[in-house]
């Protein structure tokens, strides 16, 4: 079939036109629904500040307020056609050190809350986001895949999120020696992720 093509997210953000962005998402949702899709891993509301990062084009840019507004418009467009939305990647994924993806770069709580968590807080508090995708990275030395501080205390207790959490693809497996070294095998990795509140695994760890 044929699909309507829109500018990349970074290009869409340059319009500052929330009506047009919401309409773009609505059209995408119509076409996705026609193909039988009911759940989408979108929107990406990471804040990108380092041009060396290879995923900047997937983001809506570096301004927390603009990204928040676009994320909300995108969710409205998707939800108008009944699609489940998944804001990602929670949290701090767009802040890699030297452009290297998925590492702990020592973000302070103040920088996380005043910059990188702002769009997530906005969409969780203002829209009925059915799900949310967690990030590959660490926060305060703890992998997000096992962080009760991020996934329970902040996300659920402070913000009132009542949807389900899905892992980024392979993120739970990364708790083993593949990256984080907090789990000796996939069974231990799965137990850590489940304890943190990750309901759905993109990958094979929960198998």
pLDDT in tens, the chain (207 residues): 678 999 999 999 999 999 999 999 999 999 999 999 999 999 999 999 888 888 999 999 999 999 999 999 999 999 999 999 999 999 889 888 777 777 777 788 999 999 999 999 999 999 999 999 999 988 888 999 999 999 999 999 999 999 999 999 999 999 998 788 999 999 999 999 999 999 999 999 999
Q: Exposure string (b/e) for 63-83, b if CB count within 10 Å is 16 or more?
A: bbebbbbbbbbbbbbbbebeb
Which residue in 46, 168, 185, 204 is the catalytic one?
168
Say whether 168 is catalytic: yes
Q: What is the pLDDT of residue 1?
A: 61
């Amino acid at each position: 079939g044929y699909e309507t093509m829109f500018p990349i997210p970074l290009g869409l953000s340059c319009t500052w036109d929330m009506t047009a962005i919401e309409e773009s998402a609505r059209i995408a949702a119509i076409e996705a629904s026609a193909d039988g899709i009911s759940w989408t891993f979108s929107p990406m509301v990471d804040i990108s500040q380092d041009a060396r990062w290879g995923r900047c084009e997937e983001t809506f840019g570096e301004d927390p307020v603009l990204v928040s507004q676009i994320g909300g418009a995108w969710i409205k467009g998707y939800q108008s056609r009944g699609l489940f939305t998944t804001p990602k990647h929670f949290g701090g994924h767009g802040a890699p050190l030297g452009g290297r993806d998925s590492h702990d770069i020592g973000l302070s709580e103040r920088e996380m809350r005043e910059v990188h968590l702002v769009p997530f807080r906005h969409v969780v508090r203002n829209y009925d986001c059915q799900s949310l995708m967690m990030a590959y990275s660490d926060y305060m030395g703890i992998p997000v895949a096992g962080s009760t501080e991020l996934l329970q205390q902040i996300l659920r207790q402070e913000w009132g999120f009542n949807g389900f959490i899905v892992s980024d693809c392979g993120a739970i497996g990364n708790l083993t020696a593949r990256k984080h070294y907090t789990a000796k095998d996939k069974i231990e990795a799965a137990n850590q992720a489940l304890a943190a509140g990750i309901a759905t695994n993109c990958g094979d760890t929960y198998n």
